[in-house]
Amino acid sequence: MFSRGFLFGNPTSGYICDMYMLFISGAEIFFILFIVVMVFGADKLPGIAKGLGKGMRQLRDATDDIKREIQKTAEKQGIDTDFTKDIREELNEVKKNVDEVTGTIKRK
């Protein structure tokens, strides 16, 4: 029903959790949605979705604030945080190389 990676973003990532989508099939997702509609009613679903969206946004904002505070503290302490950028660039390059190799294997 859904393409691989629907729940976790990148459709070509190849992670095991992407392939199994939390071990829930399309029929089970449909059944869960049916039960949610029966319990809460169609009138309440937009409000519930709005509340969930606000909660997710607040969580994302809180984690971003924590990251900023950690970076500010590290800079005040004189800790070099540039090495993480170098590591991230190296990891992205390795991932790109692996994707190129596995892409040719998947096509064959």
21-72 pLDDT, tens per residue?
A: 567 788 898 998 899 889 988 888 899 889 999 999 999 999 999 999 988 8
**Residue closest to 29 by CA, chosen among 53, 8, 10, 1:** 1
Write down the pTM of the prediction. Answer: 0.45
- Check residue 15 and give its pLDDT: 47
Report the number of distinct structural domains present in the chain. Answer: 3
Q: In Å, what is the CA distance from 25 to each residue of 8, 9, 33?
A: 15, 18, 13
Tell me the residue range of the domain where 23 lies.
1-42
Report percent pLDDT > 70 for the chain: 70
Do residues 26 and 37 share a domain? yes
- Check residue 58 and give its pLDDT: 96
Do residues 102 and 68 share a domain? no
Do residues 48 and 23 share a domain? no
- CB-CB contact of 12 with 96 (8 Å): no
CA distance 14 to 102: 10
